Every structure is written in structure tokens, then in C-alpha cells.
Amino acid sequence: MNQKLSAGLRTALCILLLALAYVLQTSLGLRISLFGMHIDLLPLVVAAAGIVMGPGAGLACGLAAGVLYDVSGAGIEGMYPFYYMICGIVCGLFRGRFNGREIRGTMLCSVCIITVLAVLRYLFYFQFGSTGILPFVRDMVLQALLAVVFSPLVLVIVRRISGRKKPKAAVLPPDA
């Protein structure tokens, strides 16, 4: 990618990546699953965009991811855009904490996004249905493991979109 791209164009490319990931994971012919769990790539893209490009891009990608979930009719209207916007902003705010260790930050943020959303879904459905805790925990752990496995791949793609190379590790001053 050309490093002269504007921040808006980079964010638009990330949103296009979100749309592509959404189409791949929801199309009937390409249901990607491991261990019986379907892979959810949208939280990974939101986390990577926030970590690599900052809170503004995280907000925009979070809004786009939430709208894509709302379009599918997967939950309460407006909840997903609000949730993913907050997640994208928080990931972007933690961007400085992971200098030189973006892969850890993306993995951690992805797992947190997926886990908190799973807990919210469980608490909501627990009121209206009878779902056991063990299947819920199993599914949540498997989703988190899949997020850890696929986060590096998504991070590499988002870095390419942002025009950044792998950051150099922070150099610590010698002890005096």
C-alpha cells in the first residue's frame, strides 16, 4: 500500500475489509468453522483497526461492524453499532500501551470484545430462555481461542492497509 493514503481512505479500506469478512463468514457456501464454532472475523478487524490506526478508525470500523450485524437481524437494533463503536474506541485508546507488541494487543482486545459480547448475550438470553452455563462457557472459550489464532492474520492485513510495517520493539535504556 502507498504510505501517502489519507487517514479517511485507510479507514474506508478497513471498512471494505469488514464488508468482505462479513460476506465471507455469512455466505452459505463459505461457512468457515473450526471445532464446530463459526469464525467471527468482524471483532478481530475492529480490534486491529483500533490498535493499528487509533480510536478514530476504531470508531468508524466499530460502527460499520455493528451496522453489518444489525443488517443481519442478529439482535437488538442499535446495540451492536453502539457496542462495537465503544470497543473500537477503547482499542484505539490502548494503542500506546502495546508499542512494539501490537500482536498481543490485538489478541487481547479481540478476546475481550468477544468475551464481553458473549456474556452480554448470555445474560440477555438467560432471562428469556433456559441455556446451560457449560455450553455457554465452552462456546465462549472456543471463540476466544479462534480469535487468538486468527488475530495475527487480521493484524497483518490491517497493517498493510494502514501502510505501516511491523513496529520495532521499544528500546529500553541501559541500567545506570
Nearest residue to 161 (alpha-carbon basis) of 57, 55, 85:
57
pLDDT of the residue at 111: 92
**37 in helix, strand or coil?**
strand
pLDDT at 1 over 50: no
Q: Decide: 110 and 43 in contact? Cβ < 8 Å.
A: yes
Render pLDDT for 34-60 as a digit per residue (tens, 0 to 9). Answer: 666 777 888 999 999 999 888 998 999
pLDDT at 175 over 60: no
User: Hey, which residues does 38 pair with through a beta bridge?
Assistant: 33
pLDDT at 172 over 80: no
What pTM, to 2 d.p., does this model score? 0.81
**166 in helix, strand or coil?**
coil
Reported confidence tier of residue 71, pLDDT bands at 50, 70, 90 = confident
pLDDT at 168 over 60: no
Reported confidence tier of residue 121, pLDDT bands at 50, 70, 90 = confident
Which CATH number, 2.40.128.20, 1.10.150.110, 1.10.1760.20, 1.10.3720.10, labels domain 8-162? Answer: 1.10.1760.20
pLDDT of the residue at 4: 63
Q: What is the mean pLDDT of the chain?
A: 80
Nearest residue to 52 (alpha-carbon basis) of 160, 153, 171, 144:
160
End-to-end CA distance of the chain: 42
